[in-house]
């Protein structure tokens, strides 16, 4: 038996480390936390100095037994769980268990910044004692979450029938989502117009310009407000015929690379660029961190993925700089290394950014050893890390302001050209600048240019802030200081598990339960769902881990006030609670364009009340005495006398009329914003996809016309439409995705034929030996761990599915069957 025992969290990590340490060491995995606080009364005892009554988890029993047995025979135990607060707590809990067993074996704490041979050996060499400040901070966090969850949830169950549990941080995240939806519902879009003109220089060069002011008034989303006012500007320009250049600017603009990734920015970028959920990102990053077999042996490919740091180690910076010179040349290397400071205040938990452990392992080099998800995420991290030490990109920015002789109308033309790509060579980013990537003609101040007809004017509508995506929610949480790298993914998952929110088109939509819970917490636990208060608690936890605040003092401080609040709420008269919720729901449901939906669904009386009863919140009619389900209102629907669901045409914003004179409205509903036209007494709706965000009559007419035939190819019609998975061309019975989604609205017959002729080849993996293209529908994925029955995966027009025991389960969030993992499939089966 080995004399030295190393305990890590996961079997993958233990596999990697075993190879580095040799036969003197035995490596065991704890499989995460081994003890927790059972969710029963008394797991934390405020009256006994917040004593925590831990229990070994059922699933951990066998791992604990193995660890105890091995520790008895060892001379020294290295607790090498992850390097953050949670990892420190795992180390401490295991040490406590060994102490309770009266083991005398020496215990040390080792941390690895990355799972490479050098880092692991260094970690063992520099092993230290367990850091009790870090453990205190973790315990304070755990106690806080337990106390809030365990005492707040019963209040909800008693006062709000049908509600689920409430967590400390999740409730605040939920509030963000609910408040955003409330803003969206209350938003009344307003109309405005923009104008642009093509100009012609003396050298006969054409360029575009926008009207920026008229009669001293700036054009904005508040002016001009209607077509009449826009036409006035248009007519004025038509009469002016020429413009004079008044001001010319031309300058270099520099753009610096982004800081390397921390947890929050990685989650955001992976969501925006790869469409990964935070959960999927973290699971994939974990695998890259713990070690992957890459031919020359197993090794960790990235540094620890739970970090709020953006600093890089000296060694890492040096090797990145060498790599940049060898790959791109001196031009791409700044004179001195770029330094990115971490925002976090506490030094204790200041960790490195997420970076590759070896920059020379390019995605091309090791791609064949990685799964598709692993490769995508690794590539993102690799490129971002490389870019963060590269030169800035340089743009040439030009602008020319022009006005008419009387100086009444002012137009501006922009030119914007990339002069030197710098870091963009490694890491492309969306550059949101005016100008179309071309230079402006050579014009001097005082030069006259011609205005070419026609002058284009365009209708727009202001739009509400968009719903939260996982990426934007994590961004706001990080900015508000709520949650920490280890918790973002859990927060998001918990909200969905409790059915407080659901995801639609990758955006969070609050469910009724979530709205009601938020209204209750805002009314009666105001402080505890305040952003500053929650952020303040996180900061205090950081101070505890720095050893500058006592855990007990912190808990006592929190508990005394919270406990009183809970007792007080339990005694609250139901009518007080009902009226508080009614107030919030009233604003939530019937503001803005939804104002006239405030009516009884049975008798249309406006005399209604929002009530809280045994079965939750409902709408009571004071005239006909009937109860109405609240879901109908949230969906923005009104039911007619004959029971038929009919949209309330009066609500919403009039966008314009179609050629038959039918009015078209812009509305928001349960599934986001949409256009609606009433044709022959029937409502036709089209939701507004993210790639056609602009609310205009033109877009409304287009979206409402789908699916439609746009031309012919070899005598067969070509249609286009928008389906569950985005825009498509339908030809000869086959759906082909339109990859450049933005082009959908203007797709010509020629472009459609191009798409048909260049449609992606069927995957050869499933091709038959004789070369025919008939695709095999499914592939084997593995066994379900519970039943040991085979799971197959395949793709239909409705998406990727798992086939298991003769039943189909949709696997959400992925587009190709090849990307489905066994884990994805088991998840879909167990939740479906």
Nearer to Zn ion, 464 or 603 (CB): 603
Its sign, for the CA torsion 686, 688, 694, 695, is: positive
Contact string (CB under 5 A) for Zn ion, positions 159-198, x = contact: ----------------------------------------
Q: Which two tokens stand for residue 679?
A: 């044709």
Give the shortest CB-590-to-Zn ion separation in angstroms.
16
Single residue of 621, 730, 793, 803 touching Zn ion by CB under 5 A: 621
Q: What is the DSSP string of 532-546?
A: HHHHHHHHHHHHHHT
Alpha-carbon span 259 to 478, nearest angstrom: 15
For residue 264, which of 489, 541, 493, 536 has the smallest C-alpha distance?
489
Cβ atoms of 644 and 654 within 8 Å: the answer is: no
Report 581-600 residues binding Zn ion (CB under 5 A).
600
Q: Which stretch binds Zn ion (CB under 5 A): 243-251, 271-279, 624-632, 764-772?
A: 624-632
Q: Which stretch binds Zn ion (CB under 5 A): 199-207, 388-396, 622-630, 718-726?
A: 622-630
Give the shortest CB-610-to-Zn ion separation in angstroms.
14
Q: Which stretch binds Zn ion (CB under 5 A): 144-152, 361-369, 613-621, 804-812?
A: 613-621
Q: Which two tokens stand for residue 830?
A: 């167990």
Count Cβ atoms below 10 Å from residue 571 Cβ, excluding itself: 6
Nearer to Zn ion, 242 or 605 (CB): 605
Residues with Cβ within 8 Å of residue 703, at least 6 apart in sequence: 675, 686, 687, 688, 689, 692, 722
For residue 207, which of 437, 457, 446 has the smallest C-alpha distance?
437
Q: Which stretch binds Zn ion (CB under 5 A): 378-386, 404-412, 602-610, 629-637?
A: 602-610
Cβ atoms of 509 and 185 within 8 Å: the answer is: no
Site for Zn ion contains 603 (CB under 5 A): yes
Single residue of 605, 662, 773, 787 touching Zn ion by CB under 5 A: 605
State the number of binding residues for Zn ion (CB under 5 A).
7
Cβ atoms of 139 and 53 within 8 Å: the answer is: no
Nearer to Zn ion, 605 or 748 (CB): 605
Catalytic residue check, 304: yes
For residue 411, which of 197, 194, 235, 192 has the smallest C-alpha distance?
197
Give the shortest CB-628-to-Zn ion separation in angstroms.
8
Site for Zn ion contains 610 (CB under 5 A): no
Site for Zn ion contains 602 (CB under 5 A): yes
Site for Zn ion contains 624 (CB under 5 A): yes
Site for Zn ion contains 639 (CB under 5 A): no
> Which residue among 78, 304, 528, 633 is the active-site one?
304
Alpha-carbon span 301 to 358, nearest angstrom: 7
Q: Which two tokens stand for residue 454?
A: 């026609």
Give the shortest CB-185-to-Zn ion separation in angstroms.
23
Nearer to Zn ion, 575 or 605 (CB): 605
Nearer to Zn ion, 360 or 605 (CB): 605
Give the shortest CB-712-to-Zn ion separation in angstroms.
54
Site for Zn ion contains 632 (CB under 5 A): no
Give the shortest CB-522-to-Zn ion separation in angstroms.
29
Burial class from Cβ neighbours inside 10 Å (0-12, 13-18, 19+) for residue 649 reads middle
Cβ atoms of 621 and 628 within 8 Å: the answer is: yes
3-state SS class at 478: helix
For residue 175, which of 529, 555, 428 has the smallest C-alpha distance?
529
Report 643-672 residues binding Zn ion (CB under 5 A).
none
Nearer to Zn ion, 172 or 600 (CB): 600
Nearer to Zn ion, 362 or 626 (CB): 626
Angle at 354 between CA 352 and CA 359, to 5 degrees: 105
Alpha-carbon span 719 to 730, nearest angstrom: 5
H-helix or E-strand spanning residue 142: helix 132-159
Nearer to Zn ion, 537 or 600 (CB): 600
Give the shortest CB-641-to-Zn ion separation in angstroms.
11
Give the shortest CB-622-to-Zn ion separation in angstroms.
8
Alpha-carbon span 673 to 666, nearest angstrom: 7
Interface ranges with Zn ion (CB under 5 A)? 600, 602-603, 605, 621, 623-624
Q: State the catalytic residues.
A: 304
């Amino acid at each position: 038996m080995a004399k030295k025992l190393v305990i890590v969290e996961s079997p993958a990590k233990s596999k990697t480390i075993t190879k580095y340490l040799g036969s003197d060491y035995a490596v065991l995995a704890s499989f995460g936390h081994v003890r927790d606080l059972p969710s029963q009364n008394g797991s934390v005892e405020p009256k006994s100095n917040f004593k925590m009554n831990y229990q070994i988890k059922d699933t951990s029993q066998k791992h604990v037994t193995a660890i105890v047995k091995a520790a008895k025979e060892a001379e020294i135990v290295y607790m090498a769980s992850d390097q953050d607060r949670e990892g420190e707590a795992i180390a401490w809990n295991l040490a406590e268990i060994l102490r309770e067993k009266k083991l005398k074996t020496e215990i040390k704490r080792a941390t690895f910044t990355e799972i490479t041979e050098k880092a692991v050996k260094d970690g063992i060499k520099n092993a230290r004692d367990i850091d009790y400040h870090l453990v205190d901070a973790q315990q304070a966090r755990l106690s806080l979450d337990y106390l809030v969850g365990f005492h707040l949830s019963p209040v909800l169950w008693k006062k709000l029938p049908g509600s689920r549990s409430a967590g400390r941080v999740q409730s605040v995240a939920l509030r963000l989502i609910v408040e955003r939806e409330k803003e969206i519902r209350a938003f009344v879009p307003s109309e405005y117009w923009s104008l642009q003109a093509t100009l012609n220089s003396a050298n006969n060069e054409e360029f575009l310009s926008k009207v920026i002011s008229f009669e001293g008034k700036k054009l904005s989303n508040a002016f001009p407000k209607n077509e009449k006012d826009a036409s006035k500007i248009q007519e004025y320009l038509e009469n002016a015929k020429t413009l004079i250049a008044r001001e010319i600017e031309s300058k270099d603009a520099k753009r610096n690379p982004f800081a390397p990734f921390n947890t929050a920015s990685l989650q955001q970028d992976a969501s925006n660029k790869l469409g990964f959920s935070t959960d999927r990102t973290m699971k994939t990053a974990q695998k890259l961190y713990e070690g992957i077999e890459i031919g020359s042996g197993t090794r960790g490919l990235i540094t620890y993925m739970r970090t709020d740091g953006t600093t890089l180690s000296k060694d890492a910076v040096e090797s990145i700089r060498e790599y940049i010179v060898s790959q791109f040349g001196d031009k791409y290397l700044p004179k001195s290394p770029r330094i990115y400071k971490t925002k976090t205040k506490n030094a204790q938990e200041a960790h490195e950014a997420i970076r590759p452990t070896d920059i020379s392992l390019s995605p091309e080099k090791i791609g064949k050893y990685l799964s598709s998800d692993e490769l995508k995420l690794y590539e993102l991290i690799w490129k971002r890390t490389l870019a963060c030490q590269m030169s800035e990109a340089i743009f040439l920015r030009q602008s020319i302001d022009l006005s008419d002789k009387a100086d009444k109308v002012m137009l501006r033309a922009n030119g914007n050209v990339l002069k030197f790509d710098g870091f963009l060579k490694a890491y492309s980013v969306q550059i949101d600048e005016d100008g179309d990537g071309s230079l402006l003609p050579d014009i001097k101040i005082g030069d006259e240019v011609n205005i070419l007809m026609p002058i284009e004017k365009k209708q727009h509508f202001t739009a509400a802030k968009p719903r939260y995506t996982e990426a934007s929610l994590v961004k706001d949480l990080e900015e508000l200081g709520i949650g920490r790298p280890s918790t973002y993914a859990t927060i998001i998952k918990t909200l969905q598990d409790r059915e407080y929110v659901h995801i639609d088109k990758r955006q969070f939509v609050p469910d009724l339960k979530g709205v009601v819970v938020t209204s209750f917490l805002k009314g009666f636990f105001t402080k505890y769902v305040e952003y500053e208060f929650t952020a303040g608690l996180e900061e205090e936890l950081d101070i505890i881990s720095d050893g500058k605040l006592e855990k007990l003092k912190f808990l006592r401080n929190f508990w005394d006030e919270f406990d009183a609040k809970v007792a007080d709420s339990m005694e609250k008269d139901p009518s007080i609670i009902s009226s508080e919720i009614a107030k919030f729901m009233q604003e939530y449901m019937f503001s803005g364009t939804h104002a006239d939906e405030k009516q009884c669904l049975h008798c249309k009386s406006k005399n209604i009340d929002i009530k809280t009863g045994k079965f939750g919140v409902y709408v009571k009619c004071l005239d006909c005495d009937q109860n109405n389900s609240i879901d109908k209102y949230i969906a923005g629907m009104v039911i007619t006398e004959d029971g038929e669901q009919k949209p309330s045409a009066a609500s919403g914003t009039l966008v314009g009329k179609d050629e038959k004179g039918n009015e078209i409205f812009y509305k928001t509903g349960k599934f986001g914003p949409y256009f609606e036209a009433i044709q022959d007494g029937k409502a036709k709706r089209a939701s507004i996809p993210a790639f056609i965000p602009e609310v205009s009559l033109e877009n409304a007419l287009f979206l409402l016309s789908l699916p439609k035939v746009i031309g012919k190819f070899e005598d067969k019609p070509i249609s286009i439409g928008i389906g569950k998975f985005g825009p498509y061309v339908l030809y000869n019975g086959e759906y082909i995705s339109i990859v450049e989604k933005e082009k959908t609205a203007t797709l010509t017959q020629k472009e459609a034929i191009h798409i048909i002729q260049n449609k992606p080849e069927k995957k050869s993996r499933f091709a038959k030996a004789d070369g025919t293209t008939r695709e095999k529908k499914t592939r084997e994925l593995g066994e379900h761990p519970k039943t040991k029955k085979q799971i197959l995966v395949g793709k239909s027009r409705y998406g990727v599915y798992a086939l298991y025991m003769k039943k189909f389960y949709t696997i959400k969030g992925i587009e190709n069957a090849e990307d489905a993992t066994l884990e994805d499939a088991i998840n879909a089966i167990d939740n479906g």
